[in-house]
Amino acid sequence: MNNLKVLYQDNHLIAVYKPAGLLVQADKTKDKCLMDYVKEYLKSKYNKPGKVFLGLLHRLDRPVAGIVLFAKTSKGAARLSEQIRNRTIKKQYTVLVSKIPEQDSAKLVHHLVKNELKNTSWAHENPQENSKEAILEYTLISQNSDGTAKLKVDLHTGRHHQIRSQLAAIGCPIVGDTKYGSKIPYMDGRSICLCASKLTFKKATEEEVVEIEVEPEF
């Protein structure tokens, strides 16, 4: 990752673009992650001695691209975490699916069961043991001659692999998402056609609403 793409910044918050294939936070692989790059950017830009504070507010899966918001201060972390808990932060995703859905728009309600060993979540129509309700709405943006379709997705709940699992459940797995049944490859095999393309939130210390939007690469 040569150049960090900063999308928004104020005294308390910073939003950046995460390319597909990059971890948000370090894991057992010890691969360099987005947090490392943002800390390096802040340390260099503001000539900060010692360690740089950076609060992780939310995550994106490694194969997913899009907007990630971090807190630069503890106040920013507390205020934005509260917005996340109260669901006043709005997240919108753009996705390319392997098959054109039967309906141009729909509200999907499933019950997701997470498999910790395989790092998957599978959607069921009815409640299961240890399942969690998952709700999203999608709208068709465009369809292609190869049978793929671009959708806009709004989340009502934030579950593990929710978009990937729910779209696979209606027979429309995300392009490149072989874990959930896609037969269409994408890029290097470590990425899928899912992008966190729009984020709306309130500033940490003001009532002003910030809206950030990016154009997906697919």
pLDDT digits (tens, 9 = 90+) for 61-84: 999 999 999 999 999 999 999 999
Residue 21 lies in a domain: yes
Residue found by looking up tokens 């049944």 in the block: 181
- Does residue 1 surpass a pLDDT of 70? no
Q: Report pLDDT for 58.
A: 95
| 162 part of a folded domain | no
Mean pLDDT, rounded, for 141-159? 96
Q: What is the CATH number of the domain that holds 62?
A: 3.30.2350.10
Residue % of the chain over a pLDDT of 70: 99
Whether 14 is in a domain gets the answer yes
Beta bridge partner(s), residue 121: 114
Q: How far is CA 110 from the centre of its chain?
A: 19
Q: How many domains does the chain have?
A: 1
Task: Give domain status of residue 169, yes or no.
Answer: no
What average pLDDT does this structure show over 93-115? 98
Decide if 123 is inside a domain. no
Mean pLDDT for the chain overall: 95
Q: What share of the chain is helix, strand, coil (3-state, %, to 5)?
A: 15, 35, 50
Is residue 51 assigned to a domain?
Answer: yes
Q: What domain range includes position 10?
A: 6-89
End-to-end CA distance of the chain: 19
Q: Does the residue 119 lie in any domain?
A: no
pLDDT, position 188: 76
Q: What is the pLDDT of residue 2?
A: 66
d(CA 19, CA 117): 26
pLDDT score at 25: 95
